[in-house]
């Protein structure tokens, strides 16, 4: 099985990993593997489609909207 050596792990992250491992009754190595799997498997959400205005947004239109309270 391949292995991975992580150097210069920040102390706070090491502490959090150790606490999580204890909470889940796992070794730190197993906890790190679970965290990596969750991070890699997380699919980014697709961006919504851009809003298409129904009228041209001119300076005159924006000024009227601001003065009418619609902006």
pLDDT tens across 14-33, in order? 999 999 999 999 999 999 99
Are 17 and 27 in contact by the 8 Å Cβ rule? The answer is no
**pLDDT given at position 70:** 64
**pLDDT given at position 42:** 82
pLDDT tens across 39-71, in order? 888 878 888 899 888 888 899 988 988 999 865
Integer CA distances (angstroms), 66 to 16, 44, 47, in order? 50, 36, 29
Q: Which of 39, 20, 37 is nearest to 28 (CA)?
A: 20
Are 35 and 42 in contact by the 8 Å Cβ rule? The answer is no
pTM value surpassing 0.85? no
């Amino acid at each position: 099985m391949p292995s991975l050596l992580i150097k210069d792990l920040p102390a706070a992250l090491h502490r959090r990993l150790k606490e999580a491992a204890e909470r889940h009754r796992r070794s730190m190595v197993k906890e790190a593997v679970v965290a990596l799997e969750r991070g890699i498997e997380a699919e980014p959400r697709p961006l919504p489609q851009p809003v298409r205005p129904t009228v041209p947004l001119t300076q005159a239109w924006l000024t009227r909207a601001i003065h009418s309270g619609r902006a």
